[in-house]
Chain A
Amino acid sequence: MTRAKKILILVPAFNEGRVIGRLVREIRELYPHYPILVINDGSHDDTAKKAEEAGARVITLPYNLGIGGAIQCGYKVAAEEDYDITVQIDGDGQHDPVYLKTVLEPILDDKLDLCIGSRFLSESSGFKSTFMRRIGIRFFSHLLRLLTGIFITDPTSGYRATGKKIIHKFAPHYPIDFPEPEAILIAKLYGARIGEVPVKMRKRLGGISSIRYFKTAYYMIKVTLAILIDMIKKRY
């Protein structure tokens, strides 16, 4: 008989004091058996206190590392404490915890190693995005298809579940800033099975996107270069 899979919910949060408590309570109500780890990425507000009060375990980083550094920290904990699956959900409340099960299921059934929640797969997605950002997302979809052969409709989505094999690869090596599209490529290079499931996203409850509008051009150039460089990097 196989033992039940150990699942950890990772919530990276930077200055989300106004919404993090509500989010943690929401997740706990829906999935009371899964431990929640909030990685407080050097916030200047009471994010840590609010998350702890709501019942999450909190790791506070001494200064802001950026989303990649925070998530990597979560993977390190998951690897060290022998978790089988992690589910990453943004601390700003944009990802509706209702869909956590949807994102988790393909990994639980051992169909995928990395499962991404896409806002573009479902027809009636209420998600509104700027024109520039949609173009950016499209661009990365095609770039990744060119390099990996798999088509991901929403490569910048941070709503994703990761299996054990990839947790142990991500713990020592994870891209630092704007990590989402890059992480897909890295996972693929490690031989992960990658797929998508439809999710709906909500309006941001607070905070600001790590990909700000005026930074889109920089974001695209940086991530494109990083992805291309990843192709020639030495693998460990």
Chain B
Amino acid sequence: METKTIAILFSIVILMLVIEMIRRQKMTFKYSMFWLAACVIVLFAAIYDGLIATIAHFIGFALVSNFVFFTATIFFIMLTLLLTLYVNEQNNRSETLAQAVGILECKIKKLESDLSDQQKQK
């Protein structure tokens, strides 16, 4: 099989996987955007492989494959950075929530005991 065919096949499989995950609501749109865009770009590059060779040579890569690996590495570095940010954001949010829950619970208990004291007095 030609490498071009393999590349097209893989990008289509991943694209369908992502769409399926969105359909099953396992991935929200916000997070899927990144993957959808990546799939479309890979698909495009696989179909018009002459274009990628032109860009690679223009930038100064002697081997087209080196350019592809380089781009893929940059892509994953950016992705992990982005995910680190998301994890951090979630962390901060859950911490704020935990504190809020603790404070609320304390207030509710106080209110409940005040209320039962009032009822006893009546």
Contacts and interface: CB of A to CB of B under 8 A. Distances in A.
B102 A39 contact: yes
B106 A61 contact: no
Contact of A58 (B98, B99, B106): B106
A60 B99 contact: no
A59 B103 contact: yes
A58 B102 CA distance: 9
Nearest to A68: B95
Nearest to A69: B95
Interface residues of B, number: 9
Interface in A115-168: none
Interface string A70-85: 0011001100100000
A23 B106 CA distance: 20
A138 to B, nearest CB: 31
B107 to A, nearest CB: 9
Interface residues on A, range: 10 to 19
Interface of B: 95, 98-99, 101-103, 105-106, 110
Nearest to B94: A63
Given A57-B106, A77-B103, 8 more contacts: A59-B103, A62-B98, A69-B95, A72-B99, A73-B99, A73-B103, A80-B103, A176-B95
Interface in A35-88: 39, 57-63, 65, 69, 72-73, 76-77, 80
A65 B99 contact: yes
B105 to A, nearest CB: 6
A60 B105 contact: yes
Contacts of B105: 59-60
Contacts, number: 34
Interface majority SS (helix, strand, loop, mixed), chain B = helix
A76 B99 contact: yes
Contacts of A39: 102
Interface in A163-206: 176
Contacts of A62: 98, 101-102
A77 B106 CA distance: 11
Nearest to B104: A59
B49 to A, nearest CB: 45
A61 B97 CA distance: 10
28 contacts: A39-B102, A57-B106, A57-B110, A58-B106, A59-B102, A59-B103, A59-B105, A60-B102, A60-B105, A60-B106, A61-B98, A61-B99, A61-B101, A61-B102, A62-B98, A63-B98, A65-B95, A65-B98, A65-B99, A69-B95, A69-B98, A69-B99, A72-B99, A73-B99, A73-B103, A76-B99, A76-B103, A80-B103
Contacts of B110: 57
Nearest to B105: A60
Nearest to B91: A176
A160 to B, nearest CB: 20
Contacts of A73: 99, 102-103
A203 B87 CA distance: 39
A60 to B, nearest CB: 6
Nearest to B97: A62
A59 to B, nearest CB: 4
4 nearest interchain CB pairs?
A73-B99, A59-B102, A61-B102, A59-B106
Nearest to A63: B98
B91 to A, nearest CB: 9
